[in-house]
Chains A and B, each alone.
Chain A
Amino acid sequence: MSKIVLVLSLSLVLSIIFVGCGEDRPTLNVYNWGDYIDESVIPQFEQEFGVKVNYETFATNEDMYQKLKQGGNAYDVAIPSDYMIEKMIKEDMLLKIDMDNVSNYKYIDERFKGLDFDPNNEYSVPYMWGTVGIIYNTKEVDGKVDSWDILWDEKYEGEILMLDSQRDSIAVALKKLGYSMNSRDREELEEAKQELIKQKPLVLAYVGDEVKGMMIGEEAKLAVVWSGDAMYMMDENPNLNYVVPNEGSNLWFDNMVIPKTSQNKELAQKFIDFMTRPEIALKNTNYIGYSTTNKETVTMLDEEIRNSNVAYPEKDITDNCEVFHDPGDFLKVYDRIWTEVKAH
């Protein structure tokens, strides 16, 4: 019996020890996407400012939102996407960032300031960005690829990969029809649904992350992908090419914000400023392989990447793109459409 008591008390003592990691250095809680930072920059920040960083990761915007909404967590910096930032501002979940304390904010490309989700640049500092487009195999696809229409071309039956994401796939259909991807018009959405149902027999699969391996391995000829992933795929297989269709597409952002739960706004701002430093942003950009929002960092990149119109497309292309808005209650409509498409 005494053995059991011993084991029990030992476990209790152990757990107490783990809790009491009471260091007197100030701590900063950072909440980011998985594999979305060059991990050497965190120790660098810790040393430079004499603080400790607690770093946690999430898989989707919705998961992150749930965790922040519930409270009980003191996250100081989070990195959600555009529409989620809009939602969080609406629900008063974010603190205003004092841009005077983020001296490196001047390096952020003007193109990425004053966007709809944060029109006065009060709540967020851009981190990474990209587009959605079509990646195709130049050996297998002849003719010019410049429109979403090609994904409805019967010639490519069973050779097309679509994203397994309701928002992105419905957006593709809406764009093909010439509507806004933030459309709240039920008739337009109904049309988009019909388009997706019509396209279904041509689609090989609705995929997530597997798309990379499949395109590199030439298992399909066309796929809808994010630009950051396209860069990687083109690196692995020179036959691949990426294009943002003429009808326009989705432009996405992941920005740094300070949640209301933050216990240390000053330090959070220092961290955001640190991440916006050109050489730190360079480390992160090189590690992640997505596009940086930092003008100064772009000039430091390898020429090949800097001049790539996949990672850094011309302004006229991005101007033609739309950023997702928070759908609010409209999410139900998307859910229904997607369910009907998938079940058809």
Chain B
Amino acid sequence: MVERFIKKFYIYLIFLFLYAPIIVLIVFSFNNSKSRGHWDGFTFKWYFELLKDRYIMKALYYTVTIAILSSIISTIVGTAAAIGIYNMRGIGKKTLLNINYLPVINPDIVTGISLMALYVFVGLPLGFVSMLLAHVSFNIPYVILSVLPKLRQLPKDILDAALDLGATPSYALRKVILPQIMPGIFTGALLAFTLSIDDFVISFFTTGSGVTNLSITIYSMARKGINPKINALSTLMFLTVLVLLLIVNKRSDKESKERVI
């Protein structure tokens, strides 16, 4: 009895620890005053101001667009690369894996500055394309690292079996390999999407001509104080993610039930 209580208490404590900041943020998005310290009545004013604010809205649009495009592109490139690396042997494989680790452990600031230097050097104008390319390039290694373990879990002879049964290589890849490693691909895409939304440093240095994302918009408010509109926006984003998760869970619940039947 006591043990069960402690188990429950422990779980709730962890959840509280994880969600308390978000709850505070949501509460203060309805605060009438600009301050984040004291409560001054309930209002929807920040939500209306947010919708009227064309710069935050534009930043949101760029953030989401870049996140979607860069996660799609890096997932495709990364998955292909992972399959390639998995089938390599010897020193070449080791080298490639290490090259792949480098961008992951390289500090963001180095990546950002070096990408900016590269773009300026080749004469690519800084803007949407340069930022998208930067996001694709820092996402690819993460996708590769998410997909490789799934490939290692494949039965060793599965590809040979498929080919023996008359599948063409491309058919085997599509119908046998890809479905098996799908969870890894999905994880990689999700990771890429989140990293892209989160990134400030690399984006700051590789963007230009009026293209900004939310991170840049929020960080640059640091001197004057973060405007409560951002609380409202974060609340909306949190709720969107929550709803998406619920939908995904419901669907997978349904699928597993159908399988049982």
Q: Which residues of A contact B (CB under 8 A)?
A: 1, 4, 7-8, 11, 14-15, 18-19, 27, 29, 33-36, 39, 43, 53-60, 63, 66-67, 70-74, 208-209, 212-214, 216-217, 228-229, 232, 236, 288
Contacts and interface: CB of A to CB of B under 8 A. Distances in A.
A31 to B, nearest CB: 10
A53 B55 CA distance: 11
Given A1-B174, A11-B72, A208 B35 contact: no
B193 to A, nearest CB: 14
Contacts of A54: 209-210
A324 B210 CA distance: 30
Nearest to B221: A34
A208 B218 CA distance: 15
A216 B87 CA distance: 63
Contact of B72 (A7, A71, A212, A213): A7
Nearest to B125: A72
A56 B223 contact: no
Contacts of A216: 35, 37-38
A33 B116 CA distance: 21
12 contacts: A8-B73, A8-B76, A19-B127, A29-B208, A29-B209, A33-B223, A35-B221, A35-B224, A57-B217, A58-B204, A59-B221, A236-B34
A1 to B, nearest CB: 6
- Return the 7 tightest CB-CB contacts between A and B, nearest first: A54-B210, A34-B220, A213-B37, A72-B120, A57-B220, A34-B221, A217-B37
Contacts of A67: 204-205
Contacts of A1: 170, 174
Nearest to B219: A59
Interface in B24-45: 33-38
Nearest to B38: A217
Interface in B82-126: 113, 116-117, 119-120, 124-126
Contacts of B128: 15, 18-19
Contact of B210 (A11, A56, A72, A288): A56
B67 interface: no
A232 B34 contact: yes
A11 B132 CA distance: 11
Given A29-B209, A54-B210, A236-B35, A14 B222 contact: no
Q: Report the contact-size class of chain B (Cβ under 8 Å from the partner).
A: 35 or more
Contacts, number: 121
Most buried by B among A57, A63, A67, A74: A57
B116 A70 contact: yes
B129 interface: yes
A58 B208 CA distance: 12
Nearest to B171: A1
A288 B124 CA distance: 35
Contacts of B65: 14, 18
B216 A72 contact: no
Most buried by B among A35, A39, A66: A35
B73 A288 contact: no
B219 A209 contact: no
Interface string B121-156: 000111111001000000000000000000000000
Most buried by A among B120, B209, B218: B209
B183 interface: no
Contacts of A212: 35, 37, 225
A236 B39 CA distance: 11
Contact of B223 (A55, A209, A232): A209
Given A7-B76, A35-B224, A59-B220, A70 B35 contact: no
Given A34-B223, A209-B223, 13 more contacts: A7-B76, A18-B65, A19-B129, A29-B209, A34-B217, A34-B220, A53-B210, A57-B212, A63-B204, A72-B126, A73-B208, A228-B224, A232-B34
Interface in B11-69: 33-38, 53-55, 65, 69
Most buried by A among B33, B72, B210, B219: B210
Nearest to A37: B55
